Amino acid sequence: MAAKPQHKRKRSWEKEFYKNGVPAEVIVISDSPTPTPPPSRPKATNSSSSSSSGSHDSLYPANKRRYLLEPDHKRVYKNTSDLSINQNLSSFHFFPASTVYPVPPPPPATTVPALPPSSLAAAHLSTTLHQLPAATALQRKSIQTVATATTEPVEVYDDEDGHYIVRPNESLTQQYKIMRLLGQGTFGKVVECYDRVRRSYCAIKIIRAIPKYRDASKIEIRVLNTLKQHDPLNLNQCIHLIEWFDFRNHICMVFDLLGPSVFDFLKSNQFRPFPSTQIQKLAKQLITSVAFLHDLKLVHTDLKPENILLVGRTSKTDIRLIDFGSATFEKDYHSAVVSTRHYRAPEIILGMGWSYPCDLWSIGCILVEFFTGDALFQTHDNLEHLAMMNTVLGPLPQHMVLSANKEGQKFFYKESKKLRYPTTKTTKQSKKFVDALKPLEDIIAPEHNQHNIFLLDLLKKLLIYEPSQRISAREALRHPFLSCC
């Protein structure tokens, strides 16, 4: 009976309060004075209507009202349309219609210190971002996060010199798997790879990603294709090109995997010389390969122990001639300087031009190295090189001095045409090296040895100064040294 008067009072209060109709919405004006909160009413017991009047206060206490007015940083907005929906929801559902909430006071005014001109742009961007609505700022943060997450790091394949960065166990195309680095030179790198198609190991020459080396590699491919076309069975023991491809701007040439070079073999044996019988077999194979090149109107121009590979690690006499990157056809352009310094012919040093005979001079130097274990002319200076030749082979003929270019004639006296060595700039170490050399007859001492007698005779014909008088490759194949004993 005591609860009925309360219901009547509430109904009469609602009827009086809503006599002009129930309002459709509540409008809050930011500059209006804060309304006085309604007086607290005694909490009714056993009344559903009284509990409904206080339901919003219980759902939205003071500590949660602040949370609702602050941006929800955990919410992720997918697009702009979602933002507008969420804003509408927060406007009409976060605030109950029966209660008017005060607008939070604006933040206190602060004095911003003067910024230098370089910081104005950053300050303007920061101020604009803070003045944006919460949803817009969150959207911008979300977009930046997505962009950062989807950006992939750029993988680097070349070093600063254009060499391909070799990473073992990585794939060089789907067919080839890189196993290890075999060597590196000016042209690029050579790697050992596993061929997944042929199920065998191979060597791949990876050219540097530089235009001039790429162009040179295309000439080398042309030479290699010519060799394979004219000798499909490889009877002349020049390395054969299996295939080539362009991978990440690197020309890659695939070859059979061979053993170490003759130089590496000598090095692993403390540069001990080869026996006479092995020198004979190596010389015959090398001269056969060079004769085949000359028949095709090709000059190798870079013969040296590093470019002669043993077929297997156990073989000591079966070889393959490699590195045709400097090989030149007779009718093609001839560079002024070719060959590695220790094996360079005198006509190249004197600037007289060069042709097939320069390969035979290199063979002569190589055979002496096989016999002694050391390079014959270990120098890096033209004048010192000519001085060493003068000690081992005697003075150069005057007609070659007269045929030399201006740079070459500077090495000789004008009147006597003798070598201008030593000079005031010559070091004591240089004099020591030159004086330590012996004549060729003392280096290859016959001592009643048939091999040494024939070898010395062959070397004298290979190391003749005058190119036109030097023995040819086909003539050298008929020399007794290659068939004796």
Residue 315 tokens read as 């073989």
For residue 349, give every residue at least 6 positions away whose Cβ sits within 8 Å of its Cβ, in sequence order, or none: 382, 385, 386, 408
User: Which residues are documented as binding site for ATP?
Assistant: 205
CA distance 429 to 378: 13
Active site residue 457: no
Q: What are phi and psi of 249, to 5 degrees?
A: 70, 20
Radius of gyration of the CA atoms of the chain, in A: 46
- The one catalytic residue in 302, 359, 374, 457 is 302
d(CA 472, CA 342): 21
CA distances from 195 to 120, 233, 350, 479 (A): 60, 22, 47, 42
Q: Are 422 and 430 in contact (CB under 8 A)?
A: yes
Q: Is 262 exposed, middle or buried (0-12, 13-18, 19+ CB in 10 A)?
A: buried
Cα-based angle 433, 438, 274 (whole degrees, multiple of 5) = 100
Which of 176-189 are b and which e, b meaning 16 or more Cβ less than 10 Å from the residue's Cβ? bbbbeebeeeebbb
Catalytic residues: 302
